[in-house]
């Protein structure tokens, strides 16, 4: 029976089918499956002790404030702390450039609300972050995919995309989700220059930048842009920069931030007021209490060491077991790597067989807004223990060997 509500859905919602990814991820929740499917931080690195101490201090000293309504832009000391952190990397921002959001997903949603009209184009890397596509699909976005390789977006292909007239460029320059690739300095500079030439602004999504466990830190696109544009001490940039506490502290707090020119930040704050008034006061004050003494600088080293060990376990096992027909990225940080199967192989079909073998990943097709990527897969290395990683990758590698052998036989039969 249809309820009176159901025949009143607006048109936009009828198109919102259940996400294939979500259905797949449900299958991976069986307890005996080793899942490289999700995008979860290692729970072992959550600083539960420090967080608990901070909760107690905050409730003892600021209880009434922490449980009360707060301002829409966010808790000022937290915004100032983020501004100081950002200035360490050379970007000239103040608290007035920063709005706290309920996770980066909310920031992506606000970008859609603020800037998109139905049918607007967005330039994205292919593959790109699924959550951004979900956020912007709701606003009727269309996508111009620029191909990428192990060094990120192939910026030489960007110029023709910009001539289509996109509203903005969306890029994850560090240890990209899903591919694990990092945009080289040369490509960053070219990106900044092209975006400026065509007057197309950039959204830089940087949840993983701090999680580099080898190689040199690269300057953010936001910094390179403000240098290129010779911004003078205030942030008037062509780049809106997003980052989050989800990977450094805890995703369960839903705490992230947007950095934008001050006038744009004011619009974001007005958008947020209508959307959810403000992000939880208590969470913001506790995050400030955890972070204010420099704890996160130390803590991130623990996270890096943990993730490096896990990535190494994954890469070593892949090197050992995976058939030579499969290729993959070797990310220097972050949480994901990207597998490219032989052209004829369908990762969604492989996923179903893998579930039977009690191992899971995410088929890569969903990360390609304009199709393609059927033979790709995302593997998360942050969540499982090194032992589970070795076991799961072995299962997957053996399966891949079987499939490659089967494929070779079929090729033989039909050629």
Q: Round to whole Å and give the CA distance between 42 and 49.
A: 16
Looking at beta carbons, which pairs linking 73-76 to residues 24 or more positions away fall under 8 Å? 73/98, 73/99, 73/100, 73/265, 73/269, 73/272, 73/278, 74/98, 74/99, 74/100, 74/257, 74/278, 74/279, 74/284, 75/100, 75/281, 75/284, 75/285, 75/288
Q: Round to whole Å and give the CA distance between 48 and 66.
A: 19
Nearer CB in complex with a copy of itself: 103/364: 103
The binder of a copy of itself chosen from 52, 160, 352, 409 (CB under 8 A) = 52
Q: Which stretch binds a copy of itself (CB under 8 A): 170-178, 273-281, 297-305, 406-414?
A: 273-281
User: Is residue 144 involved in binding a copy of itself (CB under 8 A)?
Assistant: no
DSSP, collapsed to helix, strand or coil, labels residue 177 as coil
- Are the C-beta atoms of 182 and 333 separated by less than 8 Å? yes
User: Is residue 300 involved in binding a copy of itself (CB under 8 A)?
Assistant: no
The binder of a copy of itself chosen from 168, 213, 322, 361 (CB under 8 A) = 168
User: Is residue 199 involved in binding a copy of itself (CB under 8 A)?
Assistant: yes
The separation between CA 89 and the C-alpha centre of its own chain, rounded to angstroms, equals 20
CB neighbours (10 Å) of residue 268? 22
User: Is residue 93 involved in binding a copy of itself (CB under 8 A)?
Assistant: no
Contact map string, positions 384 to 403, toward a copy of itself, x by CB under 8 A: --------------------
Q: Round to whole Å and give the CA distance between 71 and 88.
A: 26
User: Is residue 238 involved in binding a copy of itself (CB under 8 A)?
Assistant: yes
Contacts (CB under 8 A) with a copy of itself, residues 19-38 = 19, 22, 38
DSSP, collapsed to helix, strand or coil, labels residue 32 as coil
Q: Which stretch binds a copy of itself (CB under 8 A): 101-109, 296-304, 308-316, 325-333?
A: 101-109
User: Is residue 171 involved in binding a copy of itself (CB under 8 A)?
Assistant: no
The binder of a copy of itself chosen from 27, 33, 67, 154 (CB under 8 A) = 67
User: Is residue 405 involved in binding a copy of itself (CB under 8 A)?
Assistant: no
User: Is residue 197 involved in binding a copy of itself (CB under 8 A)?
Assistant: no
The binder of a copy of itself chosen from 32, 69, 324, 414 (CB under 8 A) = 69
- H or E element in which residue 378 lies: strand 376-380
User: Is residue 380 involved in binding a copy of itself (CB under 8 A)?
Assistant: no
Residue 67 phi/psi, 5-degree rounding, is -95, 0
- Are the C-beta atoms of 246 and 210 separated by less than 8 Å? no
The CA angle 156-159-161, to the nearest 5 degrees, is: 110
User: Is residue 186 involved in binding a copy of itself (CB under 8 A)?
Assistant: no
The binder of a copy of itself chosen from 76, 92, 137, 394 (CB under 8 A) = 137
Of the candidates 116, 124, 117, 158, the residue with the CA atom closest to the CA atom of residue 144: 124
User: Is residue 377 involved in binding a copy of itself (CB under 8 A)?
Assistant: no
The binder of a copy of itself chosen from 37, 73, 167, 369 (CB under 8 A) = 167
The binder of a copy of itself chosen from 260, 315, 335, 384 (CB under 8 A) = 260
């Amino acid at each position: 029976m249809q309820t009176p509500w159901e025949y009143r859905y607006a048109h936009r919602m009828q198109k919102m089918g259940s996400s294939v990814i979500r259905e797949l991820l449900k299958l991976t929740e069986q307890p005996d499956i080793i899942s490289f499917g999700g995008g979860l931080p290692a729970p072992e690195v959550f600083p539960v002790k420090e967080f608990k101490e901070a909760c107690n201090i905050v409730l003892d000293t600021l209880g009434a404030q922490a449980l009360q309504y707060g301002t829409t832009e966010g808790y000022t000391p937290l915004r100032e702390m983020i501004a100081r952190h950002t200035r360490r990397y050379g970007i000239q921002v103040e608290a007035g450039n920063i709005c706290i959001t309920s996770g980066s997903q909310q920031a992506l949603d606000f970008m859609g609300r603020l800037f998109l009209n139905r049918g607007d184009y967005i330039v994205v890397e292919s593959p790109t972050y699924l959550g951004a596509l979900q956020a912007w699909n709701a606003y009727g976005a269309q996508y111009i995919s620029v191909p990428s390789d192990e060094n990120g977006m192939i910026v030489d292909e960007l110029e023709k995309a910009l001539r289509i007239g996109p509203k903005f460029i969306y890029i994850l320059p560090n240890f990209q989700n899903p591919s694990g690739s990092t945009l080289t300095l040369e490509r960053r500079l070219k990106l900044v220059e092209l975006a400026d030439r065509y007057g197309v602004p950039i959204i830089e999504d940087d949840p993983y930048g701090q999680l580099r466990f080898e190689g040199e830190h690269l300057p953010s696109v936001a910094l390179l842009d403000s240098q290129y544009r010779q911004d003078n001490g205030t942030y008037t940039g062509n780049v809106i920069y997003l980052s989050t506490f989800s990977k450094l502290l805890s995703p369960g707090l839903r705490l992230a931030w947007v950095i934008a020119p001050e006038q744009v930040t004011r619009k974001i704050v007005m958008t947020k007021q209508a959307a959810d008034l403000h992000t939880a006061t208590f969470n913001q004050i506790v995050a400030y209490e955890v972070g204010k003494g420099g704890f996160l600088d130390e803590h991130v080293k623990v996270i890096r060491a943990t993730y490096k060990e896990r990535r190494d376990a994954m890469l070593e096992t892949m090197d050992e077991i995976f058939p030579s027909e499969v290729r993959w990225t070797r990310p220097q940080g972050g949480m994901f790597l990207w597998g490219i199967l032989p052209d004829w192989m369908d990762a969604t079909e492989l996923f179903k067989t893998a579930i039977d073998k009690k191992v899971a990943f995410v088929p890569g097709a969903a990360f390609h807004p304009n199709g393609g990527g059927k033979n790709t897969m995302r593997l998360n290395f942050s969540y499982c223990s090194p032992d589970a990683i070795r076991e799961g990758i072995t299962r997957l590698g053996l399966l891949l060997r079987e499939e490659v052998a089967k494929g070779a036989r079929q090729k033989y039969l039909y050629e």
